[in-house]
Structure 1
Amino acid sequence: MPKDSVARFLAALTPEDRRTVDSEPREEQERLAAAWESELETDAELDTLDELSPPAAEAEAARRVLDRKDD
């Protein structure tokens, strides 16, 4: 598993979202990855999902971060 938070964030995205985020400047990718890490750390609902399926929790957190980006 990649240790770089941007690489981990990109891996959690759908292929279409990954292409979109990958085309962003590195600074924006880092900002989104930091928001994703924060989402994973602070959302109790994701903690429960993480116990059942870590990849699903990561994907859900990534979806939430991108949804907020588009607002």
Structure 2
Amino acid sequence: MNTDPVERFLAALSPEQREAVDARPCEEQERLAAAWERELESDDELDTLDELSPAAAEAEAARRVLERGSDR
């Protein structure tokens, strides 16, 4: 299993999203990946989804982070 947060975040994205994020500066990719990890850790709804489908939970967290466009 890959442990690099940026690579894991990119893998959770759709091909179109991945291409767009991959074109961003490394610092922004790292910021988004950190926000994605926080989203996965903090949202109880994603915990439930993760039990059913880890990939779906990761994709949903990635979608939320990109939609929000911030690292809240």
TM-score range, shorter chain: over 0.9
Which residue does 1:60 correspond to in 2?
60
The answer on 1:50 being equivalent to 2:50 is: yes
Paired residues in the alignment total: 70
Which residue does 1:30 correspond to in 2?
30
Which residue does 2:2 correspond to in 1?
2
Q: Any stretches of 5+ residues in structure 1 without a counterpart? A: none
Q: Deviations over 1:18-48 (max 9, x none)?
A: 0000000000000000000000000000000
TM-score between both structures, scaled by the size of structure 2: 0.95
The answer on 1:12 being equivalent to 2:12 is: yes
The Cα of 1:2 is off from its aligned counterpart by: 1.5
TM-score between both structures, scaled by the size of structure 1: 0.96
Aligned equivalents of 2:32 and 2:44: distance in 1? 20
Q: Any stretches of 5+ residues in structure 2 without a counterpart? A: none
